[in-house]
Amino acid sequence: MERKGLRGIDRRTLLIGGGAGIGLVVAWAVWPRTYLPNLPLAEGETGFGAYLKIAPDGQVTIAVPQCEYGQGVFTTLPQVVADELGADWRRVGIEAAPLSPLYANALAAGELFPGVLPERLRETHAVRNALMLTGASTSMRNFEAPLREAGAAARAMLCQAAAARWGVDWRACGTADGFVVNGKQRLGFGELAAEAADYDVPPDLPLREGDGERLLGEPAPRLDAPGKVNGSASFAADIRLPDMVFAAIRQGPVGTVKLAALDEAAAQTVPRGCCTSSRMSAGSRRSPITAGRRSARWTR
């Protein structure tokens, strides 16, 4: 039966519709969005952007957006900020950055998952999905520039606050060891932080130059070491919640093997075991989540 008033989709209509779809994708990619810092602040602390905050006693805390796997990023990345800021390394602390698009690592996304997205969309996708990835030796390559800018911005704001007190040009001021200095005058970061937060970051933000007393690239005590030595550092395995259940993955033997069978009854005999995965199918190369070693049988 012919349906009058309707016509099929011809090639021209399809191309026009497809073009509109592509236009929507491109529009989504270039649509401007603003993300505000969500770095948590304790009482009395003053935040300076997404990467650092200063306490009234002058303690500087730097947010690190990468996982510490032993490669030293909890020290090397804070060094970048502290160097530009002019902080006293003995008064620098660290904390893991919260989940935020501001800490996205588009460079790692491109190197870990090549070819998934066109390069022109990769950064937008990483930012909008807050892909806080650690890997492919990208920590310093991706974050050195924004960390330098964060330290330099806070330094400029602190210098402006000190200069207002002294009645001098802020560009004549410098920072060293946690103080803003101008000749023999000096004021601590903690004393100036609240006032400094009201100043704007200058458009021509100056970065440190020269080979004077610099922290960047110099050996420094690892900031994550004390907590790991005395046991105060918290890891995912340290988390305990009410009625918390622990899952264990039963891996296959060495080599390429397939899951032949899953004996859930055997797994249930494990003391305090509560459940097993029932979504595993024979022939799958994925590992079942089980409660006992004898519950899974493998084959090549």
Query: Which among 164, 29, 34, 47 is positioned nearest to 95, based on CA atoms?
Result: 47
Tell me how many helices (H) and strands (E) the chain has. Answer: 8, 9
Angle between helices 139-166 and 189-196 (to 10 degrees): 90
Check: CB of residue 138 under 8 Å from CB of residue 107: yes
β-strands 92-96, 60-64 pairing: parallel
Q: For residue 299, what pLDDT is reported? A: 63
Find the Cα–Cα–Cα–Cα dihedral 76, 197, 206, 35, rounded to 10°: 70
CA–CA separation, 190 and 188 (whole Å): 5
Residue 182's beta-bridge partner residues? Answer: 185
266-to-70, 105, 258 alpha-carbon distances in Å: 38, 44, 19
Residues of the chain with pLDDT under 50: 1-9, 11-16, 28, 278, 280-294
DSSP state of 180: E
Strands (DSSP E) contained in the chain are 46-48, 52-54, 60-64, 92-96, 174-176, 179-182, 185-188, 258-262, 296-299
Check: CB of residue 74 under 8 Å from CB of residue 80: no
Question: pTM score, two decimals?
Answer: 0.74
CA–CA separation, 100 and 132 (whole Å): 8
Q: For residue 14, what pLDDT is reported? A: 44
